[in-house]
Amino acid sequence: MDFKELTVEDIKRDYSTRHGFIFTHPQPSDRKNWELVEKTLIQAEFTTSNVDFVVVLNPNTFVFVYPEGVSFDTPRFMAMATGFSRMFGWQVETLINFSRQ
């Protein structure tokens, strides 16, 4: 898992056309959590690709950015993410929507 130090503006400017997600949780998370999320997304067949890199915006918010051209079942994933949000407090936003703000 590769990490980059980028600002929100960098992410919006340079990566808005890629598949990616912003994860926010009331409790801080760490590399173990991020690796589990990445592995779960592959096992659940939302994608076959590992993330290209991760950006940690703060202890409670991290961003997954996938390689260009990767296949990702975003509608199905976002439907599942809505359930996780209700059950576990996770907030998930697509990189495309995040970049439009």
E strands present in 1-101: 20-24, 53-58, 61-65, 91-94
Asked, for residue 68, whether it belongs to a domain, the answer is no
Total number of domains constituting the chain: 1
Asked, for residue 101, whether it belongs to a domain, the answer is no
Asked, for residue 65, whether it belongs to a domain, the answer is no
Asked, for residue 27, whether it belongs to a domain, the answer is yes
Q: Whole-model pTM?
A: 0.87
What was the pLDDT predicted at 74? Answer: 87
Asked, for residue 53, whether it belongs to a domain, the answer is yes
Give the model's confidence band at 31: pLDDT under 50 very low, under 70 low, under 90 confident, else very high.
confident
* pLDDT tens by residue, 58-99: 999 999 999 998 888 889 888 888 877 777 778 889 888 888
Structure tokens at 90: 């996770």
